[in-house]
Structure 1
Amino acid sequence: MAPKNRIIIDTDPGVDDTLAMLLALSASPEELEVLLISVTYGNVPLQSCLRNVVALFHVLEKEMKWRESTGKGIAPFGALHAFKPIVAVGADHPLEDELMAADYFHGEDGLHGVHEAHPHLSPDETWRLLFKNETGISGKLPPASPFWTPSKEKAHKEILRILKENPADTITILTIGPMTNVALAASEDPETFLRVKEVVVMGGAVGVEGNVTPVAEFNTYADAVATARVFALTSRVPASTMPPVLKDHHNLTSLPAYPGKLPRQLKLSLFPLDITTPHELKRSHLTEVIESRMAAGSPLALWTNTFLTGTFNNIEKLLGDGSEPGLSLHDPLCVWYMLTRDDSAWKPVPVLEDIRIETSGQWTKGMHVVDRRIRAKAGEVNSTVETHPEDPVDAVKFDEIPGDTKGWLNMKLGNRINRMVSSPGEDIFAELLVKRIFG
């Protein structure tokens, strides 16, 4: 039986990214197939993120051997055994911003020192050679993994290859880190990119405070230009919301405008902090489940307990009020959506929203801007737009609507974002996550 959902995960692991990947790989083959893990910079630098992905599969290999030797069976990691995702290395810096990181929260290596704490659970350093396009190193390579395949191609090219080789509307991309890889794919071949069924984005803060600035969430802030470019593909006129072209940007990646004619609009479902933050894993809940697994000798329990304990300790310090720490399950929520997307409890806002990304504000970079004004908008019939794609912002001519600036009141312009506002249950997700990963 073919899997219900086939996905690409674009990620910068990171604690909650790692939990998201574990949740995806713990699915049954009928629920989910992970075709590609596209790795980017973000929470920590690119090579640390890549190391964490390789380590995850290394630990799972040890975990499966332990489960087999103790008679526990492979369940629930059916998808891990049924499919073999590709792992590809992507961007190591934003398109037009300075590199930043969240190692203050995730630890210097992205997983609170887990590699140093448990060197027997970390892969030999020769894993780095698997991704190098060099000759004469085959004898030094580690043995192939039964669970993943390294790619020597750039991640955004692998994204495009998979979209091109599969029927349109069959592949969903989950972006749970900065959106640089996805923006690069969209820019290089927008027509192929628009074969995607849906892009599911963990990012942004719409009606709540940000987590890196008062208005910005980390993934968006880390590459606001990339996010703006991908969001623009949801518009009938992408030029109307594209970020301004920055002149004389040395040593950075200024991408061209999209073609004037595109085959269709992108479907993009957004999971901002508004919905992800309340879905929490509490320390007591984890301890209750994981201690018995650790005592029994589970490599996966030992490995995850190390970085989750480090995270809970960090949250306790940040809160400083003595309350029980809870880890917000930002990235895993997107995977849960993929596993249960037909559940009617997933509810978006009633109407697609025109959400635009601020890319150059002194205090507001990375902000998800929504027009909350109650104003009549120009209808489809009488509104006109002229665009010149080679100059994506300055040459867009908007309707003459009194009081309108940048086409906020023109129905033909602006982004169309499917923002999620409710899930099947904040109170049940943590339990489901832990049960699926640890059995």
Structure 2
Amino acid sequence: MVGYAQGFKRWLRSLLLLSLLTATGTQAGGEVDLIIDTDPGADDVVALLFALASAEQLHVRALTTVAGNVRLDKTTRNARLAREWAGRDEVPVYAGAPGPLLRTPIYAENIHGKEGISGVTVHEPEAPLAQGSAINYLIDTLRAAKPHSITLALLGPQTNLALALIQAPDITQGIKEVVVMGGAHFNGGNITPVAEFNLFADPQAAEVVLGSGVKLTYLPLDVTHKVLTSDARLEKIASLGNNAGKVVGDILNDYVKADMEHYGLPGGPVHDATVIAYLLKPELFSGRKVNMLIDSREGPTFGQTIVDWHDGLKREKNVFWVENGDAQGFFDLLTERLARLK
């Protein structure tokens, strides 16, 4: 009788879990078909290791690189380095746009260092760059994809996807969702008082993506500045005993210092890695559908994301804006995934 009761409880728990997954639209064992567009960057490298360590949930088709935190040649090398550190050389890396659509290029070497990754020594990776441009890869892949099947994670300026959309607007048929690390509302900006770096670096590209009608989710500074490192969290990563833990520990110990000093924070944000956590475990985050505009006019509000949080304008809600996140849940998940790597 006891065995029967225990079996019934297990069956009931399974039934409840299945009901929950069905209600939230998530299928057990489901896999996200993913392209990661990135400008590594310290936090990008952490995000790439996070994603590449999660192969059972994230089918990473390719990494596409763009100029942003540093020049394109360096962001591309750094993406290849992250691929090498993850032991995933089969994932192709395509180089994309060397600069924004219209504005003068800007970089963030003051935060990420001249090579784009501080705290570790960089080298030329063995596995080569894929042939062809990131823009052509996006066009060809999204055109050939099943309808609304591929998710794009945009971790830097949105130039590559914007160029692909300008050349081939029909590629929206292949896009399931675009998840962006970028923007700021409640938090304020990190490069001007109102603008976040990725949007400031190419606001016109972000406008093209916003105007395309694709499903958009934004993880802005509003949430990334709530998901902060701590000594205990960094020590747990560094004590994993593998190369990935050492690399991420060394990168973050150096990278977070600038934000901690500038904002007076007790820890530092790992901006781009929140996108990967959102894809893996969206229940760690909360937000709401809003209407968002991007200011691309020259002036003090250039690059600002204007978010109608309280729906005062009654306009179409075109973005899911993530506003809060479970910091400990994020770092537990990141640490667990990094432990899988060498």
TM-score per shorter chain, which class?
0.7 to 0.9
1:431 to 318, 321, 332: 332
What CA deviation, in whole Å up to 9, does each residue of 1:137-182 have, x standing for no partner? Answer: xxxxxxxxxxxxx322110111121112220111000101000001
Matched, 1:16 2:43: yes
TM superposition shift of 1:311 = 1.4
- Aligned-partner Cα distance in 1 for 2:30–2:311: 44
Matches within 5 A, 1:353-392: 353-371=290-308
1:159 to 115, 134, 138: 138
Matches within 5 A, 1:150-299: 150-234=129-213, 266-291=214-239, 293=241, 298-299=242-243
Alignment correspondent of 1:347: 286
Structure 1 residues 193 and 178, CA gap change in structure 2 (3 angstroms): same
- After TM superposition, the score normalised by the length of structure 1 is 0.66
- Aligned-partner Cα distance in 1 for 2:159–2:167: 12
Structure 1 residues 50 and 283, CA gap change in structure 2 (3 angstroms): farther
- Aligned-partner Cα distance in 2 for 1:374–1:184: 31
Alignment correspondent of 1:338: 279
- Aligned-partner Cα distance in 1 for 2:240–2:292: 46
TM superposition shift of 1:291 = 4.0
Alignment correspondent of 1:397: none
What CA deviation, in whole Å up to 9, does each residue of 1:188-227 have, x standing for no partner? Answer: 1111234200111111012221111110000000001101
- Aligned-partner Cα distance in 2 for 1:38–1:114: 22
TM superposition shift of 1:416 = 1.4
Cα pair 1:206 1:370 within 8 Å, conserved: yes
- Greater fraction helix: 2
Matched, 1:32 2:55: no
Structure 1 residues 370 and 37, CA gap change in structure 2 (3 angstroms): same
Structure 1: runs of 5+ lacking an equivalent: 62-79, 117-121, 131-149, 235-265, 376-407
2:249 to 305, 316, 319: 305
Cα pair 1:20 1:331 within 8 Å, conserved: yes
- Aligned-partner Cα distance in 1 for 2:115–2:281: 32
Cα pair 1:356 1:415 within 8 Å, conserved: no
What CA deviation, in whole Å up to 9, does each residue of 1:244-287 have, x standing for no partner? Answer: xxxxxxxxxxxxxxxxxxxxxx1111111112220112233212
Q: What letter matches 1:420 in structure 2?
A: V
Q: What letter matches 2:206 in structure 1?
A: T
Structure 2: runs of 5+ lacking an equivalent: 1-27
Cα pair 1:12 1:41 within 8 Å, conserved: yes
Structure 1 residues 288 and 224, CA gap change in structure 2 (3 angstroms): same
- Aligned-partner Cα distance in 1 for 2:38–2:79: 9
- After TM superposition, the score normalised by the length of structure 2 is 0.83
Q: Alignment length, in residue pairs?
A: 313
Cα pair 1:232 1:415 within 8 Å, conserved: no
What CA deviation, in whole Å up to 9, does each residue of 1:295-329 have, x standing for no partner? Answer: xxx3333333332222144445445x6x74x2212
- Aligned-partner Cα distance in 2 for 1:302–1:332: 17
Alignment correspondent of 2:33: 6
Larger radius of gyration: 1
